[in-house]
Amino acid sequence: MSPSGDDLRWQLYMLARGSIFLLLLGVGCGQHPTASSESNPLRIVSLTPSLTRMIIDLGLGDAIVGVGSFETRVPAHAKIISHHPEIDIESLLVLRPTHVFMLRQSAIPGTRLRLLAKKGRFCFQAYPYPVSIDQITLPLIGPLAEDETVLLGHALSRTKEAQQLAAAIKQQLEQLRDLTATTSRPRVLMAFALDPIMASGPGTVNDELLEIAGGVNAAANATVSAPVYDRESLLAIVPDIILLLMPDAAPLTENDHRLAPLRGLPVPAVEQKCIVLINDPEVLLPGTQLPRIARQFVRAIHPELADQIQPDGPEQAP
């Protein structure tokens, strides 16, 4: 039996509805209408340094056209279009991005970007902020709690590379854990500011990284993740080693004025001059470069193991 005119019109209507629905599904990413092609190349805006690092490690650094103001390594051709938590939406749209990525640190910019994504302007994904080493690789291999969130590798057609990157991070960190498993474990204060003295406390990525590197967090009993110490409270935690985690800081000198808050303290780290500066530009970044930072931790805490650790290249990650 041949369909009537009304039946044909109904079928065409349902087909059109289905096409629109599929198009809207693509707004999240994966089947996004602005996916990369020869005529429509990738144009990525990354609003979080750790995601920028991941995108570069996936081999797509040249596709980054916009970044946030806190970037540690801005590609030469990229524009700064955000000053946390504000995002210059007009400047972002001028860049004609195909993809916009960020971590979920601020709801308001994310809401505005999500609305633009629903209008088909670009693919937008916001990933959870990592509070542990396991969560570092969530954008790469998951698991992600939200069904609509698409993994970074899938969104950028780099699924295999994302899996390989996540595996390399895990493997290298486990190798360092095995290397330090039988070593002595000194008490280490990880300070990222000296005026006042602020340190990485419990429940942080650095806390986990220190355990892998063969140290015990001197700030482990703090009630907050970034405790502040004065001279008296430093006497109570008795650090054997102090790591200064200060991105791009100048090397320490004999009478460095920055060490004034520590000078003369009767604790092993000061008396035995076990104060080590780690000034890697990405030392405070919870991203894919963690194995490189962990190696620097091990060299500082256990210099006797230095010969057993691979050297770091300037662009090496992980």
Check pLDDT > 80 for residue 14. no
pLDDT tens digits, one per residue of 53-112: 999 999 999 999 999 888 877 778 899 998 777 889 999 999 999 999 998 865 556 788
Distance (Å) of CA 85 to CA 77, 78, 115: 23, 19, 17
pLDDT tens-digit readout, 29-48: 644 444 455 557 999 999 99
Q: Decide if 290 contacts 260 (C-beta within 8 A).
A: no
> Per-residue pLDDT tens for 202-230?
999 999 999 999 999 999 999 999 999 99
> Whole-angstrom Cα distance, residue 297 to residue 283?
10
**17 contacts: CB under 8 Å, gap ≥ 6:** none
Domains and CATH numbers, the chain: 6-157 (3.40.50.1980), 179-308 (3.40.50.1980)
Q: What secondary structure letter does DSSP report for 288?
A: T
Rounded to two decimals, the pTM is 0.84
Burial bucket for residue 296 (CB in 10 Å: 0-12, 13-18, 19+): buried
